[in-house]
Amino acid sequence: MKAAVVLFSVPILGAAMSASSPSRTRAPEVPVCLDRIAQASTSVTYLAQAEASKLLSRAAIQVEWTHGRSCQSGAAIHVHLTVQTPDNLLPGALAFCQPAIRDDIRILYDRVQSTVSPAHEPHLLAYVLVHEIVHILEGEARHSSTGIMKAEWTPEDYAAMASGKLTFTAEDVELVRNGMIDRQASLNAPAHKEHTEPPQSEPAY
């Protein structure tokens, strides 16, 4: 996912997050391990995790934020926050992952910080987390023409985030549901990603 432009000031974590969430059969919780780094305060990551959980629940995805030994589970998605991103690393991207190859997400936290004001960091971090987690769960690097899974967010999208109106398309919800079924089958298979070839494709962002 790329960020095209730097933004504006808008209230964060608004009440609009309470939009209806699907009440279908609950899928298993997806364990997600989020790195701690000194540059990301606990309050920022806590708020971002809470907001990301709400957003993901709109697509019937339940995440369990975990750490320590639970991160060793083959089902866990690992989120690495990094800083000092080289300028030539995926210019414009805020994060990237390689769905179908590994369950790791790298968030270029210094770029998140430089894209919005400090007050809005948890909000943007939440959307970046959600975008990348959905890539991993869908198992592919596809993007939608609108919404959370758009390849490149515009200033209008950032404004929609702030008011809680940037959401999933119906297709996103369908694809992630199918992806989670495939993922569960893969996790249950004996050779889960043990013999995967080295990355051959461009990362998704």
Name the residues that contact Zn ion, by CB under 5 A: 1, 204
Residue with smaller CB distance to Zn ion, 1 or 48: 1
- Closest approach of Zn ion to the CB of residue 61, in Å: 16
Residue with smaller CB distance to Zn ion, 5 or 71: 5
Rounded to the nearest 10°, the torsion over CA 151, 154, 156, 162 is 70
- Closest approach of Zn ion to the CB of residue 93, in Å: 9
Cβ(58)–Cβ(168) below 8 Å = yes
Q: Rounded to an integer, what distance in angstroms lies between the CA atom of residue 106 and that of residue 174?
A: 25
Residue with smaller CB distance to Zn ion, 23 or 158: 158
DSSP letter assigned to residue 150:
B
- Closest approach of Zn ion to the CB of residue 163, in Å: 22
What is the phi/psi pair of residue 89, to 5°? -90, 105
For residue 61, the one-letter residue type is: I
Residues in Cβ contact with 21 at an 8 Å cutoff, skipping those fewer than 6 apart: 54, 57, 58, 60
First to last CA, the chain: 4
DSSP letter assigned to residue 120:
G
Q: Determine the residue with CB nearest Zn ion.
A: 1
Residue with smaller CB distance to Zn ion, 1 or 30: 1
- Closest approach of Zn ion to the CB of residue 5, in Å: 17
Residue with smaller CB distance to Zn ion, 1 or 129: 1
Residue with smaller CB distance to Zn ion, 118 or 124: 124
- Closest approach of Zn ion to the CB of residue 133, in Å: 11
- Closest approach of Zn ion to the CB of residue 74, in Å: 23
Q: What does 61-90 look like in DSSP terms, one character per residue?
A: --EEEE-GGGGGSTTPEEEEEE-S--TTSS
